[in-house]
Structure 1
Amino acid sequence: MWLHSSRSFHRLNLRRCVLSSKAVCVHQLHSRGFTDSCYDGLYPGHIQTTPIQKSLLAIGSGVAALQDPYRYDMVAVLGETTGHLALINLRNRMRNDPEGLAILTERPRIRLSTLDLDKMASLPDGSFGREYLRFLEDNDVTPDSRTEVKFVDSEELAYIMQRYREVHDLMHTLLGMPTNMLGEVAVKCFEAAQTGLPMCALGAVLGPLRLNSRRLQSLFTSLGPWALKNGWRSRCVLSVFYERRWEQSIEDLRRELNIEPPPVILNATNKRSA
C-alpha cells in the first residue's frame, strides 16, 4: 500500500517540480563544483532592485495577492519586498540560539532530494516525520513547490526567507492545521506573531474576509487567539533543526517549543496551501 502511495506521491511531485531553465543551470553548476560567485547577484536568482522598485513591486504584488490569495508568486514577492526589518530580527534570534546558529551555518534545505521518504514512512504514527509525510500526501503538496527568493538584498537574509517558506508546511503539521482557508489564516496568525513579517500580518488580517460566518466565529473565538498566543510565546520556529527531529513525537516537540495543542476544528475540504 505504501509503495503505491509513494509512487503516486513521486509522480505528483515530478509534475509539480519542473524547474525553470535558470534553476536547472544553477543546480548543474553547483553539482559541478561552481559556487555562487559565478553569478553577478548576491546569490543564484538574485535580482537587484532599488527602494523605489521594491515599493512598486510591493504595491503590485499586494494588489494581486488580495485579488487571489493563491497567487503564491505574488505573495512571495510581497514578502521579500516588505520583510527586511523582520528578517534582520529573525537572523538575530537565530544567531542567539545554538540550534538556530547551526542552521545558519549549515544551510539545510527541505526538498524532496533531502528527504528520506521511505524512512519517514516507517516511523510510528505521532512522530513528527511521519505526520509531516502524511500531511504532504493528504494535501497533495510538495516542499519543492516553494518559490526561490529573488528580491532580498542579502544572501543570509535570503536564506532565512527561503527557510521560512520551506518550514511553512511543517508549521501546518506542528499546529495541526488543515490547508483550507480557515487553517491557512490560523497559521498566518501564528507566523505573524512569530516572525513579524508584514506579509503574514496582511494574510492574518485580510484572510478572514474570505471566511463564512461559521468559520469566522471559530477563528475569533478559538483559533485566532490560540494562534496569536502561541506565536508570541513559543520559541523561534526557524531555530529548530527539523531535519534532526523526524523521530521525535509531535507532542514532545510542541512541549519543547511551548506550543499548546490546537483546538478542535472541522477539517473541511478545499485543500490548498499558501
Structure 2
Amino acid sequence: MSTLGRCGARRLRARTFLNPPISTVSAARPFSVLNRPPPNYPGHVPLTTIERGALAIGAAVGSLINPYRADLIAALGEATATPHFIYRLRDAMLSNPTGRRILRDRPRITSTTLDVSYLRTLPSNSVGRAYAQWLDREGVSPDTRDSVQYIDDEECAYVMQRYRECHDFYHAVTGLPVFVEGELALKALEFLNTLLPMTGLSLFAFVRMKPAEKERFLSLHLPWAVRSGLASNELINVYWEEVLEKDVDELRAELNIEQPPDLRDIRKMMRLQRKREKERLQQS
C-alpha cells in the first residue's frame, strides 16, 4: 500500500473511532422509554416489549367494551401481529407472483386512488360496482382506515396497511354488513385466511350479542366462515385494483369463498315476523 493509502486508512480509522456509524451507536444503547430509536418510516412509533404488551391488553379490553372503536382494533392488530404473524403474511405475498407485484408497486386504496364515481357505472355484478354500492349502503369511505404505526419493519407495515385497506373489499364480495354479526362473520373468515391474532380475538365480541344474534351466528355464519376460511386462497394476494371489472361471482369462485346468507334479508324477515306476531297478539 502507498504512503498516501496508509495515511488515508489511518484517517478513516480515526474518524470511525471518533464517530462510529449510527447503527453501531444505536445498537450499543439499550432501547428504553427514554432512549427510543428513530422511526423506520413516517408515522412509525417504536415500542418496547412492555409497551407493546400493554397496548395489546388495553386495546383488547377497550375494543371489547366498544367494538366500534376502529382505532383500538387497529392498535390491537398491530400489537399482536408482530413479530411472527405479519412476517407469515408478508412471506405469503412473496411466494405468490401477484403478491410480489403488490409489494413492489405498493398501491393504496383511498378515495384518491379509486374513482368511486366510475365504479358506480360498472356492470351491476362487477367487483367495482359491488364495492361502490357497499360503501354507499354502509355509509363508509375508503379513507376511514388508520395508518400503521406500531409495526417496526417497514415492508411488514405496508402489508398490514394493505390488509386493512382491503377489508372493505372482503365486505363487498361477501355482502356482509358492518354491524356486529357481519363483522364477526368476516373476522372469523379472515382469521382462518390470514392467521392474524386480532381477527380471532375480535370474536370475543360474541358475548355482547343478543341471544337471537348468537343463535344465527352459530348456526349460519360461523359455519360459513369456517368452510370459506379453510378453503379460500390468500386474500392478501388479490390485486383488487385489477379486478374491479370482473364478475363478483366469478371472483368468489376463484377465491373459493361461498356466498354467505344475506344477513340484512334475514334480519328484515325476522323484524317482519315480530311485527306480525305483535299485531296478532294485539288483535286477540
If the TM-score is normalised by the length of the shorter chain, which range does it land in?
0.7 to 0.9
Name 1:161's counterpart in structure 2.
160
Aligned with residue 50 of structure 1, among 45, 48, 60: 48
Shift of 1:40: 4.0
Distance of 1:102 and 1:89 partners within structure 2: 17
Shift of 1:195: 1.1
Bigger shift: residues 211-220 or 252-261: 211-220
Distance of 2:159 and 2:187 partners within structure 1: 17
Name 1:254's counterpart in structure 2.
252
Distance of 1:183 and 1:161 partners within structure 2: 21
Aligned with residue 70 of structure 1, among 68, 71, 96: 68
Name 1:147's counterpart in structure 2.
146
Name 2:117's counterpart in structure 1.
118
Partner of 1:110, secondary structure, is coil
The answer to whether the 8 Å contact 2:87/2:156 transfers is: yes
Distance of 1:228 and 1:186 partners within structure 2: 9
Q: Which runs of 5+ in 1 are unaligned?
A: 1-38, 270-274
Aligned with residue 83 of structure 1, among 66, 81, 103: 81
Name 1:231's counterpart in structure 2.
229
Distance of 1:233 and 1:121 partners within structure 2: 31
Aligned length: 230
Distance of 2:175 and 2:225 partners within structure 1: 11
Distance of 1:253 and 1:218 partners within structure 2: 26
Shift of 1:118: 2.7
Tell me the TM-score normalised to structure 2 length: 0.78
Shift of 1:185: 0.7
User: CA offsets, 1:147-193, max 9 Å, x none?
Assistant: 10000010011011111110111111111211111101101101111
Aligned with residue 220 of structure 1, among 215, 218, 221: 218
Greater RCO structure (CA 8 Å; 6+ sep): 1
Partner of 2:177, secondary structure, is coil
Partner of 2:264, secondary structure, is coil
Distance of 1:47 and 1:106 partners within structure 2: 24
Shift of 1:250: 0.5
Name 2:243's counterpart in structure 1.
245
Equivalent positions of 1:162-201 (< 5 A) are 162-201=161-200
Identity %: 40
The answer to whether the 8 Å contact 2:231/2:256 transfers is: yes
Tell me the TM-score normalised to structure 1 length: 0.81
Equivalent positions of 1:96-115 (< 5 A) are 96-115=95-114
The answer to whether the 8 Å contact 2:93/2:103 transfers is: yes
Distance of 2:221 and 2:112 partners within structure 1: 34
RMSD: 1.5
User: CA offsets, 1:204-229, max 9 Å, x none?
Assistant: 2x121122222211111121011122
Structure having the higher Rg: 2
Shift of 1:60: 1.4
Q: Which runs of 5+ in 2 are unaligned?
A: 1-36, 269-284
Distance of 2:38 and 2:206 partners within structure 1: 42
Distance of 1:81 and 1:220 partners within structure 2: 29
